[in-house]
A and B are shown apart, each in its own frame.
Chain A
Amino acid sequence: MQPGSKYFAAGAVLATLGLLAVAHFDHEGRAWELQQRHLEVTARALGFAQLMEEVREDEAGEGLAQRFAEALPSSVRSVDEALIVKKARLLAHSDPERGGTRLSRDSVADKGLYDVGVALAGDVKKNVEERERSPELGAKNAFPEIEPKPAKQQLVAGKLVLAVPVKDGLRYRGAARVVGGKIEVRRIFPLRIALIGLACVVLFLLLGGRLKGTAQVLVGSVLMATMVLGQAFAYQDWSRSARRAHAESLAQTYGELSQAGLLHLAPNAEARAELVPQLLVRPTGIAAKDLVAIETASVAAQHEGATRIDAQAAAVFVPNSFLNASGGSKGLTLWAIAFAILGIAIFLLGAFGQLGRAGMSLWDHRSAYKYMSPALVGMLVLVFVPVLYGIALGFQKRAYNEYNFVGLDNFVKILSDTEFSDPQGFYFTLGVTLLWTVSNVVLHVSIGLFFALLLNDTLLKAKGIFRVLLIVPWAVPNYITALVWKGMFHKQFGAINLALQGLGFEPIAWFQSFWTSFFTNLATNTWLGFPFMMVVSLGALQSIPGDLYEAAIVDGATRWQRFKKITVPLLMPALVPAVMVGTVWTFNMFNIIYLVSGGAPDGATEILITDAFKWAFERDRYGYAAAYSTVIFVILILLTTLTNRITGATKGAFE
């Protein structure tokens, strides 16, 4: 085993152990905290304060949530006192100020709950007023101990909102599941984390062990970072699904609770049928509604035997809390990064003393770095930081002006959009982008090269004038050109349609169908793009020594053979990089698409970059847009690497 591999393994083991420890404490101490708070608030709202107290007293290190979930179902049958009042509203109260924990409107985690609390407070107030108008509706105070201020108010009422958790809970797959009302967590995540670590070590032995020096350092570092981040993702995934399981369990509980309340309120079927449509329902997703409907129906059937409750109106109950099942633990990500750095540092320092050597070379060439530093700082601030920030943004989701880490969700969503024929869909847009890029670059190069060959001809007179004229499209700001062309393609007043009409043709509605609309973009961008290729080609042509052609003439080459065997190969070293640059430019040519066709019709001529723009600035989904941009970036890297590999552009013709 090479020393490099040894130190890589050491770094990997240390990083893995560290991450496991953090995950362990994170699980015990932090990840459930929020959830427990929600449960507490919810339970209080539902009047289970007493039950809560019991659970709390009983608590001995076990998770509160789990205990609560276990305790709740058994008590549902005897909840006569559970907050059922007039008009079949399930009464409850969640007073933000008196909740089990203080809620902050400024925290993303609490915001949902806080809003619900405020809404509830409003409802309670309304109910109280209503009750004062019709005192005959008075009922007993369901839970005096959490009565809102002022204290003399006896009746509280509110609607409770079931939000995300049921929907997500139903869908969860993974580490935890509900068995008979209990949550069963499969604690496989430590194993997963360890396996990821092992896999990376093995991979390094296979790959990095053969490499030397810088390459090995690079591979090792990347592998180490990948490993730790992968482990962090695995943990996040595990913890998320565990929380979803809790959410589901709670949803079940509340479902049963509300059914009991319904039965209590209207013991016979007729009354209940009358009542049900009035129930205040705010389902937040089909899954939530369905769950409640099914639960309600089945319980009702059990109790009454005959009456079927309309599924649509069925949602009764409900917990007033969000269980934020999708939130992640930011702390863990930071820890993961810290451990990745630690692992890499051990690997580097131990294996190569590279750092020392790098330091030495830095010191040796310190004057050179001094001169480079302004440029380096510029690059750092203007290029690297924004790019890295953009990439990082892609792993987050924005809500209430805060960003939450959501792992690969954005990317998965983008790439799993398999509606290939949907003009708004990712793959359709990707296809358009590729078509757009290829057709543009082909036209740019062929037209540019054609003019370059003409301009390079020794017999051509007044070259200077032609050269200036041909460069003009390039010199004019491209948004002006774009607007001019857009005007020319106007259906009624555009120059092109007027010309067509003059020739006796029907005018064309350029922006109404995909191909004509695509053509308008293509024509505009070809006009803009060929001068660059022309200039590059011309420069390259002029650098080809004339005697090569003479030698070829004497060797017996025809004009075409000279072009094919001398001109083209010698143009390549200049042209291939230009084509690559042109490809990237065209791939990301925002202005033309945005200004000329604007994506018409129906976003069909949109390309990826304009789509990303729309996600960010029209739909306000910054995280998604950032992920979109990262995908574009990756596609471009792949594309250029591939081109480079195939054409060997960086090798050059002279080697």
Chain B
Amino acid sequence: MASLELEGVFKRFGDNTVVRDVHLEIEDGDFVVLVGPSGCGKSTTLRMIAGLEEISEGTLKIDGKVVNKLSPRDRDVAMVFQSYALYPHMTVRENISFGLKLRKMPQAEIDARVSDAAAILGLEDLLDRKPRAMSGGQRQRVAMGRAIVRQPAVFLFDEPLSNLDAKLRVQMRAEIAKLHRRLGTTTVYVTHDQVEAMTLAKHIVVMHEGVVQQVGAPLELYRDPANVFVGGFIGSPSMNFFDVKVDPEADKPTVQGAGVRVTVPDRYIEGLGDKGRNLVLGVRPEHMYEAKEPCDGFVGEVEVLEPLGADVHALGKLQGQDFTARLEPETQVKVGDHVQIGIELDSLYLFDKETGLALPVSGS
């Protein structure tokens, strides 16, 4: 078990900088999820921690010790790969014990650890099978078994669930969470799936184009996205964005544009800035509702209805901009209807159009 520290870490491939100035402090026992769209540098960051990629600039410390130049075998990390990377010519037992054998651990100890790991992961009956004869979920478990028998200081997961089908993914997600609760090992987990990130992480690191956008607990990121990117990335369905301007005409502070008109809540008034300033209005679908009469919001045409049972997602267009609203299940709205959509003022976000950063919030 160990803490992990990245200080000003860069990764360059030739002229191409894929990871830029990453600072992270990961406490002992933490579960950190690096999340972002593909190509955002999250996997590269993980591979630098594992030692599979060299660090171009900056320092990486494990337990306070700089390990930039240490080979992976000396870093005491274990990694689960997206493809599982099981050794196809070895049985499950051999796969799991491979790292221990290489470290010349006594056989009795190896056996004990393998059977422990197998018990934790429910692999007891599969120990003598070869990877080929197993399902995706079983292979996934073997890959985790291979990591946990090592009892490493840090677990690294590189999109471990993306090759599984949706149902299995949910199940394995729960198992990983359980495993972490049980072992308490410091874990760095890479995924592009924000649901995984939200459900698993103690702390989420959102990355975009090699740069860390925001670090925080899942709900923090959901409630207070630092910029448009984080706002759009976290949450499902994604946040709606509307280009708006601070309305110079209105008597109350109002933003409007592209058919949307919203009164600015008090908490934003202080940082609202000059009239006419270009802003981005962010509203999560779950913070919209079907209104009976004109109110803060807009009238949009519904193009698609997605009844999910618990609620209905209405997808539509508003002057060229897409929107998604979550409506009550008993709504009578039909495709093609022009609906008055209301926006909950307590839950809207305003971002600066140019920088993408969230406007400062006062009070509360």
A interface residues, Cβ below 8 angstroms from B: 545, 547-548, 550-558, 561, 565-566, 569-570, 653-655
Contact = CB atoms under 8 A, between A and B. Distances in A.
A545 B89 contact: no
A548 B87 contact: yes
Contact of B72 (A545, A556, A565, A655): A556
B98 A552 contact: yes
A551 B79 contact: yes
A554 B52 contact: yes
Contact of A566 (B72, B73, B87, B150): B87
B85 A565 contact: no
13 contacts: A547-B81, A548-B87, A550-B50, A550-B81, A551-B79, A552-B87, A553-B72, A554-B77, A557-B73, A566-B87, A570-B89, A654-B88, A654-B132
A556 B89 contact: no
Contact of B52 (A545, A548, A550): A550
Contacts of B79: 550-551, 554
A653 B78 CA distance: 25
Contacts of A569: 89
Interface string B41-59: 0000000001110000000
Contacts of B182: none
Contacts of A551: 79, 81, 85-87, 146
Contact of A555 (B51, B88, B99): B99
A553 B130 contact: no
B103 interface: yes
A553 B156 CA distance: 14
Given A565-B98, A654-B88, A654-B132, 10 more contacts: A548-B85, A552-B98, A554-B73, A554-B78, A555-B73, A556-B102, A556-B103, A557-B98, A557-B102, A653-B89
Contacts of A553: 51-52, 71-73
Q: What are the 6 A-B residue pairs with the smallest beta carbon separation, nearest first?
A: A556-B73, A555-B99, A551-B85, A653-B89, A547-B85, A569-B89
A273 B98 CA distance: 96
B2 to A, nearest CB: 16
A550 B89 contact: no
Contacts of B50: 550, 554
Interface of B: 50-52, 71-73, 77-79, 81-83, 85-89, 98-99, 102-103, 130, 132, 146, 150, 156
Contact of A547 (B83, B146, B150, B156): B83
Contacts of A557: 73, 98, 102
Nearest to B150: A555
Contacts of B72: 553-554, 556
B98 A555 contact: yes
Contacts of A545: 83, 85
Contacts of B102: 555-557, 561
B85 A655 contact: no
Contacts of B89: 569-570, 653-654
A570 B73 contact: no
A555 B101 CA distance: 10
Given A554-B77, A569-B89, A570-B89, A654 B130 contact: yes
A653 B86 CA distance: 13
A548 B50 CA distance: 14
A654 B130 CA distance: 7
Contacts of A566: 87
A253 B83 CA distance: 92
A545 B83 CA distance: 10
A473 B73 CA distance: 41
A566 B85 CA distance: 11
A570 B88 contact: yes
Given A545-B85, A548-B85, A556-B73, A655 B98 contact: no
B186 to A, nearest CB: 15
Nearest to B143: A551
Contacts of B146: 551, 555
Contact of A550 (B85, B88, B150): B85
Contacts of A550: 50, 52, 79, 81, 85
B333 to A, nearest CB: 48
Nearest to A553: B72
B50 to A, nearest CB: 6
A652 to B, nearest CB: 9
Contacts of B81: 547, 550-551
Contacts of B156: 554
A552 B52 CA distance: 11
A576 to B, nearest CB: 13
Contacts of B99: 554-556
A556 B72 CA distance: 7
Nearest to B80: A551
Contacts of B85: 545, 547-548, 550-551
B49 to A, nearest CB: 11
Most chain B CB atoms below 10 A, which of A548, A550, A551:
A551
Most chain B CB atoms below 10 A, which of A553, A556, A558:
A556
Nearest to A573: B89
Contacts of A653: 88-89
A554 B79 CA distance: 7
B130 to A, nearest CB: 7
A565 B99 CA distance: 11
Contacts of A548: 85, 87-88
Nearest to B81: A547
A545 B99 CA distance: 18
B45 to A, nearest CB: 15
Contacts of B51: 553-554
Contacts of A561: 102
A458 to B, nearest CB: 13
A565 B83 CA distance: 19
Contacts of B130: 654-655
A220 to B, nearest CB: 36
A561 B102 CA distance: 8
Nearest to B152: A554
A116 B166 CA distance: 96
B52 to A, nearest CB: 5
A553 B98 CA distance: 11
A565 B101 CA distance: 11
Nearest to A551: B85
A655 B88 CA distance: 8
A647 B81 CA distance: 31
A566 B79 CA distance: 17
A278 B73 CA distance: 99
Contacts of B82: 547
A363 B150 CA distance: 60
Contacts of B77: 554
Nearest to A550: B52
Nearest to B158: A547
A107 B183 CA distance: 95
A563 to B, nearest CB: 13
Most chain A CB atoms below 10 A, which of B51, B77, B81, B103:
B81
A216 B150 CA distance: 52
Most chain A CB atoms below 10 A, which of B86, B88, B146:
B88
A150 B81 CA distance: 107
A177 B337 CA distance: 118
B308 to A, nearest CB: 37
A545 B146 CA distance: 18
B103 A655 contact: no
B134 to A, nearest CB: 12
Nearest to A555: B99
A343 B137 CA distance: 57
A388 B72 CA distance: 61
Contacts of B52: 550, 553-554
